[in-house]
Each structure stands twice: as C-alpha cells, then as structure tokens.
C-alpha cells in the first residue's frame, strides 16, 4: 500500500520529475499513478488487446525509469512517456504474424496517398437510429481498420487530445505531416461510417 496522499495541492509534474531524477522513488510512483490509466488506454487503442496494452504499460514505465536521467525536460513528461508507449505498442504490432495491415516500416508519402472519393452525407442522424454502444463499436472497428501510421495520429489527436505539436514530437514528424495524416484518417473514417450507416439504414428499424 502506498502512503496516504497529503492534503496539499497536487504536485507539479516538473517537480515530481526532478525529485524522481534525484532518486525519490515515491515521486516516480506518483507519476505512474497519474498517467498509467491514460497510457493503458492509449496502448489498448493501438493494439486492441488488453494483454498487449498491459505489457506496453509495464515496459513503457520501466524504460522511462531506466532512462530518467536522460530526460532533459524539453517536453512534458507525459509527452515523453506517450512517445515511449507508442513505440512499444507499434513494436507489439510488428511482432504479430497475423497482422494484415501495411508494414509499419513502410515510408508513407501522404502526398501520394489517394484521398477517398466523394463522401456522402448521412440522410439521418445516426445517433437517432443507433445506441451509443453500437456507434462506439462501429467506430472502434473503423479506427482499427486504418493504417497504423494514420491510426496512431488519429488516436493521439482525437482520442488522447494531444495538440498537433505534441503529436508531432511524440511521432518525430513535422507538424504539416501530422495535419495531413490526421485529415486523411478523418476522411477515411467518415467514408467508412457513411458506408456502414447507409448500408444498415434500411434494416435498423426492424429491431428498434
């Protein structure tokens, strides 16, 4: 059991990092407690596996602890640990023999990627025709179907709510590259969801 938290204000992240670098194990434990749920969720969104996400969580914080002296504070600690977690999650995907997605080592020139064709407009609001759970499941499947390079950018920006600049730092990309990949991810998701709701629309009223 960890000692009870004091009633003082929440410690500043920078202060916790400094203390952890000086050998304060309790300060690093506080950083783990602060971010472990978000890192697990991020890893789960990328790997789509609870087991792999748990491995990523453990490996990410272990590596962060081992290399803490090398953290220069040029970015937030959270941005740094996210970058480690993303790399660990992508390594998990590389090792999956059954992964049918495009190679993660492939260089993606977004200027040559075909943008989706004309995107139809939903005739009805899908939230009026489907439950929130059903929509969530459809969206999860659509996100999983994206190329890993696009999926990761989408998750960091639109799910984890990192800024464009933070996402660029995490993935070692330029800001324009992040914006381009995010746009294409959003367009592809829009097309996939449009196709789904138009295809299922005629049948949905049978069980509503």
pLDDT in tens, the chain (208 residues): 444 444 446 788 889 999 999 988 889 999 999 999 999 999 988 888 888 999 999 999 999 998 898 888 778 899 899 999 998 988 888 887 544 444 444 433 334 344 343 333 334 454 444 566 666 777 778 888 888 888 899 999 888 888 889 889 888 889 989 988 888 888 888 887 777 766 655 443 333 3
Tokens representing residue 135 in the block:
């929509």
User: Are the beta carbons of 130 and 204 closer than 8 angstroms?
Assistant: yes
Burial degree of 98 (CB within 10 A; 0-12, 13-18, 19+): exposed
| Residue 135: inside a domain | yes
- Give dist(CA 88, CA 94) in Å, integer: 10
| Residue 35: inside a domain | yes
- The closest alpha carbon to 17, from 68, 74, 88, belongs to 68
Q: Domain containing 136 — which CATH number?
A: 1.10.10.10
What is the structure's pLDDT at 56? 92
Neighbours of 60 (CB within 10 A): 26
Domain that residue 25 falls in: 13-94
Quick one: 138 and 75 in the same domain?
A: no
Structural domains in the chain (count): 2
Quick one: 147 and 198 in the same domain?
A: yes
Q: Domain containing 30 — which CATH number?
A: 1.10.1740.10
3-class state of residue 48 by DSSP = coil
pTM: 0.60
| Residue 148: inside a domain | yes
- Give dist(CA 178, CA 164) in Å, integer: 7
Quick one: 68 and 134 in the same domain?
A: no
What is the structure's pLDDT at 200? 57
Long-range Cβ pairs for the range 139-147 (8 Å, 24+): 139/189, 139/193, 140/48, 142/189, 142/192, 142/193, 142/196, 143/45, 143/189, 144/48, 145/192, 146/185, 146/188, 146/189, 147/101, 147/102, 147/108
| Residue 60: inside a domain | yes
User: Are the beta carbons of 146 and 189 closer than 8 angstroms?
Assistant: yes
């Amino acid at each position: 059991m960890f000692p009870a938290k004091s009633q003082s204000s929440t410690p500043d992240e920078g202060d916790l990092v400094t203390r952890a670098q000086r050998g304060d194990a309790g300060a690093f434990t506080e950083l783990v407690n602060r971010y472990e749920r978000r890192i697990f969720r991020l890893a789960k969104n990328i790997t789509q596996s609870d087991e792999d996400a748990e491995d990523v969580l453990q490996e990410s914080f272990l590596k962060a602890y081992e290399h803490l002296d090398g953290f220069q504070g040029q970015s937030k600690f959270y941005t740094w640990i996210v970058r480690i977690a993303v790399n660990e999650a992508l390594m998990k995907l590389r090792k999956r023999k059954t992964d049918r997605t495009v190679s993660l080592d492939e260089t993606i020139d977004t200027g040559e990627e075909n943008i989706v064709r004309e995107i139809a407009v939903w005739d009805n609001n899908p939230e009026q025709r489907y439950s929130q759970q059903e929509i969530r499941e459809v969206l999860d499947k659509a996100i999983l179907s994206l190329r890993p390079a696009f999926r990761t950018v989408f998750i960091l920006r639109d799910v984890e709510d990192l800024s464009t600049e933070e996402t660029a730092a995490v993935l070692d990309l330029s800001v324009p590259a992040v914006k381009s990949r995010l746009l294409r991810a959003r367009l592809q998701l829009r097309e996939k969801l449009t196709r789904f709701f138009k295809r299922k629309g005629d049948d949905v009223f049978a069980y509503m």
